[in-house]
């Protein structure tokens, strides 16, 4: 009887061991099965994603939507921020994700003499039913550096008289430039006390060995409608629309002409392109300030293009000569580099 009991115990233990082994095998089989199912599911999702994104990306490029987003961002920056250019050459940079959110990153630079000096980048994004949002991220060289300054609206437009107090920036710049030797070039920005036709201002600037890149256009700000502005002493500053050299695009919204300057192309061509750019921007872009741009465009169509400043670059001594013009005031220095100038 004792032998039978021992045999029964062994059989029970063997059975228990077999049950444990079977259970372990079943657990591992289940785990492997679940693992393979997860892998197959992820692979299927990935293949579906690829099958979805390939035609979306192809359409985004072939339809011109990719170039359109880059063009919107470029136009927003270059018609608002004095002295700042966007590197939009060679290829489209915009991307689109699975949620149809568009984004792009474009290099920013300044024209200082003959060089294009990189100063940062613009990052922009637009959700499917949202507005274009963008930020300019500058490579700061100095703490609390102000990279972009607006132009001062001519006092006469606002019914005010000019005063000697407005010459402060001119004298500060003169003291700076006197200390700089002839072997340098600079970018400078100045406002004009009386609005004038762009052709008239270009004629005034012909006497100097400089290149002209931007001119602020008065669009009825403050006098016809309210817009963001600030006061400094007797002067009022706004972010104006900027006249830039003629830039053309192909039917895919790709940049199709080399960047020039306002005094190297006919001003009529640049003005015509200005109207086209702002009209195109308000029709194709969904961005903050669109309604203001439409009001500006209507005002400019009725009253013509009146400019009240310029962004220029050239040798230090030529920039210095501009300070002698009584009509020019509110000077700012955009950047200085060692000599890199061809004689014009």
Instruction: Let me know if 290 is exposed, middle or buried by CB neighbors in 10 A (0-12, 13-18, 19+).
Output: middle
Q: What is the largest CA-CA distance in the chain?
A: 127
- In this prediction, residue 204 carries a pLDDT of 95
What DSSP string runs through 269-293?
A: HHHHHHHHHHHHHHHH--BTTHHHH
If DSSP states are collapsed to H, E and C, what string results for 87-141? CCCCCCCCEECCCCCEEEEEEEEEEECCEEEEEEEEEEEECCCCCEEEEEEECCC
pLDDT at 6 over 60: no
61-117, pLDDT tens digit by residue? 888 899 999 999 999 999 999 999 998 776 678 999 999 999 999 999 999 999 999
171-201, pLDDT tens digit by residue? 888 999 999 999 999 999 999 999 999 999 9
What Cα–Cα distance (Å) separates residue 253 from each residue in 5, 70, 72, 242, 257? 92, 8, 10, 20, 12
260-292, pLDDT tens digit by residue? 778 777 889 899 999 999 999 999 999 999 999
Residues 239, 219 contacting (CB under 8 angstroms): no
Q: Which residue's structure tokens are 């790709």?
A: 254
pLDDT at 299 over 60: yes
What Cα–Cα distance (Å) separates residue 317 from each residue in 44, 181, 208? 67, 9, 10
What Cα–Cα distance (Å) separates residue 48 from each residue in 42, 98, 128, 202, 247? 10, 11, 21, 58, 41
Residues 186, 333 contacting (CB under 8 angstroms): yes
Residues 313, 199 contacting (CB under 8 angstroms): no
Distant-in-sequence, close-in-space partners of 10: CB < 8 Å, separation ≥ 6: none
């Amino acid at each position: 009887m004792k032998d039978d009991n021992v045999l029964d115990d062994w059989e029970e233990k063997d059975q228990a061991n077999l049950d444990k082994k079977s259970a372990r095998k079943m657990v591992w089989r289940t785990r492997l099965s679940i693992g393979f199912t997860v892998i197959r599911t992820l692979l299927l999702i990935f293949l579906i994603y690829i099958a979805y994104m390939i035609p979306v990306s192809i359409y985004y490029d072939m339809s011109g939507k990719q170039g359109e987003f880059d063009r919107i961002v470029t136009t927003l920056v270059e018609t608002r921020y004095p002295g700042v250019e966007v590197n939009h050459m060679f290829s489209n940079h915009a991307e689109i994700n699975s949620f149809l959110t568009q984004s792009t990153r474009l290099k920013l630079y300044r024209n200082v003499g003959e060089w294009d000096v990189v100063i940062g980048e613009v990052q922009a994004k637009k959700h499917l039913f949202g507005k274009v949002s963008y930020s300019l991220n500058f490579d700061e060289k100095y703490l609390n550096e102000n990279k972009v300054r607006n132009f001062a609206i001519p006092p006469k437009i606002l019914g005010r008289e000019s005063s000697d107090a407005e010459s402060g920036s001119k004298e500060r710049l003169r003291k700076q430039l006197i200390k700089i030797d002839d072997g340098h070039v600079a970018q400078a920005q100045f406002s004009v006390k009386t609005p004038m036709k762009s052709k008239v201002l270009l004629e005034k600037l012909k006497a100097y060995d400089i290149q002209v890149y931007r001119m602020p256009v008065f669009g009825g700000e403050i006098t016809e409608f309210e817009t963001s502005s600030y006061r400094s002493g007797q002067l009022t500053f706004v972010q104006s629309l900027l006249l830039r050299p003629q830039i053309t695009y192909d039917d895919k919204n790709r940049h199709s002409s080399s960047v020039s300057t306002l005094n190297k192309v006919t001003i009529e061509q640049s003005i015509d392109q200005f109207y086209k750019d702002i009209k195109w921007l308000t029709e194709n872009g969904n961005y903050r300030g669109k309604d203001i741009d439409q009001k500006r465009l209507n005002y400019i169509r009725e009253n013509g293009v009146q400019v009240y400043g310029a962004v220029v670059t050239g040798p230090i001594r030529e920039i210095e000569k501009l300070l002698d013009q009584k009509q020019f005031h509110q000077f700012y220095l955009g950047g200085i580099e060692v000599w890199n100038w061809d004689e014009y």
